[in-house]
Amino acid sequence: MTLRLIFLVLVTGGCVRLPTAPLLVDDDVRRGLVPKGEAVALDFTVTRYPSGTPYRLADDRGSVVLLDVWATWCDPCRESLPFYEDVARQFAGRGLKVYAISVDADAAVIAPFVQELKLSLPVLHDPEAAVAGSALKVKQMPTSFLIDRRGVVRRVHEGLSDDYFQQTLTDVELLLAEPAK
Confidence at 14, pLDDT banded by 50, 70, 90: low
Amino acid at 94: R
Determine the pLDDT at residue 179. Answer: 83
- For residue 84, the one-letter residue type is Y
Q: Is 118 left (phi over 0), alpha (psi -120 to 50) or beta?
A: left
**Domain that residue 169 falls in:** 3-177
The CATH number of residue 136's host domain is: 3.40.30.10
Our count of domains for the chain comes to 1
Tell me how far apart the alpha carbons of residues 157 and 119 are, in angstroms, rounded to a whole number. Answer: 21
Q: Are 164 and 31 in contact (CB under 8 A)?
A: no
Whole-angstrom Cα Rg for the chain: 15
pLDDT for res 134: 86
Q: Is the pLDDT of residue 153 over 80?
A: yes
- Structure confidence at residue 37 (pLDDT): 52
Q: What is the mean pLDDT of residues 82-102?
A: 96
Residue 160: DSSP 8-state: B
- CA neighbor of 137 nearest in space, from 31, 11, 2: 11
CA distances from 138 to 52, 73, 124, 159 (A): 23, 16, 15, 10
Average pLDDT over residues 66-74: 96
